[in-house]
Structure 1
Amino acid sequence: MDKVESSPALHHAWVSSASRRVRFALEEKEIGYQSILVDLLAFEQHTPEYLALNPNGWVPTLVHDGVPVVESSVICEYIDEILQGPPLVPHDPHERARMRVWAKWTDEVVIRAFQVANWNRMMAPVARTWTDDEVEQRLAAIPVPDRREDWRRMARQPFSKADIDHAISNVRRTLERMESDLAAGPWLAGANFSLADIHLSPYIVRIDEHVDRGVRLQDYPRCSDWWQRLSSRAAFARARIEPVTFKD
């Protein structure tokens, strides 16, 4: 397929981990894009205008040639497939398979682990200030049942210690798997930097938020070296993948 050069528009939020994945991919491709910020705490992602672009009601959404593309891992592969710039999907089929295994693990395990571990700190203080009527009004605008239930819990019954312990266990499992895979090469898929590294980056940058829960990146030497290589990339800085600090 011929690569195209038209600039996309990205609806995103700076602090959103999924948005960070897509910004990193765009910056690696050195593609100019229109930045359209979505205020998550003002629930702009649940407005009718935004839901017309992304019926899930979350960020990011990439609009390219007038067509919205949703789901951050899908957007990243779309960016690599359709836009000019350095390849982010390995040519080698074995590395490509490893990249996609990491994409699946990130989507199915890592994202949920960090949602549970972080939402008590980030979202619960906001949700606890709502009246019962405000809770119901907010929930009615959330189109995805699982996300609606998460917000209900943030407002009235935040995640338990057992929930958080399970999430932190999955964070450790992720670091252990990374440590093992990085024995085969400098990047998660092998010899080449790829979307596997991009997908994990917005979550690993937040590891230090959980030092008080016994998770330390320096306990995983290959992961630490990988992080130094990754965070030194020019595109990483341009994508603004920065630490976030919240208090209990």
Structure 2
Amino acid sequence: MTDVTLYHWEPNANSGKPMLALMEKGVPFASHYIDMLQFDQHKPEYLAINPQGTIPAMTHRGAWGSRVLTESTAIMEYVNAAFPGPDLMPADAQDRWRVRWWMKFMDQWLGPSFSMIGWSVFVGPRVRERDPEELAAAIERIPLPERRAAWKKAISGEFSAEEMAESRRRVALGIARLEEELGKRDYVGSNAYSLADINIFNSTYSLPLSQPDLASKEKTPNIMRWLKRVYEREAVGKTWAMGKTDMAARYSLVMEGIV
């Protein structure tokens, strides 16, 4: 029986970050799939683990007892520090700063824009097919008011034209900045694969499909070379094999096109 249990959705975005970190470190873990489209994250069983109702979450048992960890980037740093295996943070102080800079850039600035676009074209339409009364009851169970508001917008398609335009602007700027960064070194933040690559890959893995006007072999050759390197990692293949929705098929389509 493993000491680590990871509560996660698909192996992309926030859920994918600790999944891939655990895989890269070679840490055995029990996978507990939380179907976000069925609002599993707001059911009593999961709220007993994480009362905020956000995913992912991780439990780690040891001689000290059991720890519950939340927030995907913080979980990645915990995994890297707590377990043996390849170090996913560079030794050089400036490189470590750069890795953390990029993770913050993704988590606080660029990631929410990717998320808004994803919710508007994937999550919202998928959930919208369900019974309206059932949806209303599910939304009311969401613990955090800001998450309730976001879900309501996604389901009803109420993201404003201004919000969507700002998200698209940020995505375009973020892709351009990432392309510039990857022209300086093989990986994001340093010349070695790190937590920054895991963080950013899990939101950019499908750029050639989702943003073909912004990311391609012709327009962003550095990003495409980087994606190829990451796609070829054994841990990435194993992690994405755990997917259950058509996002996994999307991953395969991109991999076939660039590897």
1:107 correspondence with 2:107: yes
State the AA in 1 paired with 2:159.
F
Percent of residue pairs identical: 28
1:196 correspondence with 2:196: yes
| Partner residue in 2 for 1:227 | 227
Question: Where does the alignment leave 5 or more consecutive residues of structure 2 unmatched?
Answer: 242-247, 252-259
TM-score (normalizing by structure 1) = 0.88
| 1:157–1:193 distance in 2 versus 1, CA, 3 Å | closer
1:39 correspondence with 2:35: yes
Write the mapping of 1:158-173 to structure 2, written as runs, cut at 5 A.
158-173=158-173
Write the mapping of 1:75-154 to structure 2, written as runs, cut at 5 A.
75-129=75-129, 133-154=133-154
State the AA in 2 paired with 1:158.
E
State the AA in 1 paired with 2:23.
E
TM-score (normalizing by structure 2) = 0.85
1:57 correspondence with 2:56: no
| 1:132–1:234 distance in 2 versus 1, CA, 3 Å | closer
What is the deviation of 1:130?
A: 5.2
More displaced stretch, 194-203 vs 50-59: 50-59
Cα deviation, 1:111-132, whole Å, max 9, x if unaligned, reads: 2111111112222224434565
Runs of 4 or more, structure 1, over 6 Å off, are none
Q: Is the 8 A contact 2:175 2:214 kept in 1?
A: no
Question: Where does the alignment leave 5 or more consecutive residues of structure 1 unmatched?
Answer: 1-5
More displaced stretch, 124-133 vs 137-146: 124-133
State the AA in 1 paired with 2:41.
Q
| 1:193–1:157 distance in 2 versus 1, CA, 3 Å | closer
What is the deviation of 1:78?
A: 0.2
Cα deviation, 1:151-203, whole Å, max 9, x if unaligned, reads: 11123343234322221221122221212222331111122111010001111
More displaced stretch, 166-175 vs 62-71: 166-175
| Partner residue in 2 for 1:28 | 24
Q: Is the 8 A contact 2:103 2:199 kept in 1?
A: yes
What is the deviation of 1:43?
A: 1.0
| Partner residue in 2 for 1:9 | 5
State the AA in 1 paired with 2:225.
D
| Partner residue in 1 for 2:214 | 215
Q: Is the 8 A contact 2:120 2:157 kept in 1?
A: no
What is the deviation of 1:55?
A: 2.2
| 1:208–1:56 distance in 2 versus 1, CA, 3 Å | farther
What is the deviation of 1:39?
A: 1.5
What is the deviation of 1:243?
A: 5.5
What is the deviation of 1:26?
A: 0.8
Q: Is the 8 A contact 2:11 2:239 kept in 1?
A: no
Write the mapping of 1:168-187 to structure 2, written as runs, cut at 5 A.
168-187=168-187
| Partner residue in 2 for 1:3 | none
State the AA in 1 paired with 2:206.
R
Q: Is the 8 A contact 1:54 1:61 kept in 2?
A: yes
What is the deviation of 1:47?
A: 1.1
Aligned residues: 239
SS of 2:88's equivalent in the other structure is coil
SS of 1:36's equivalent in the other structure is strand
1:205 correspondence with 2:205: yes
SS of 1:53's equivalent in the other structure is coil
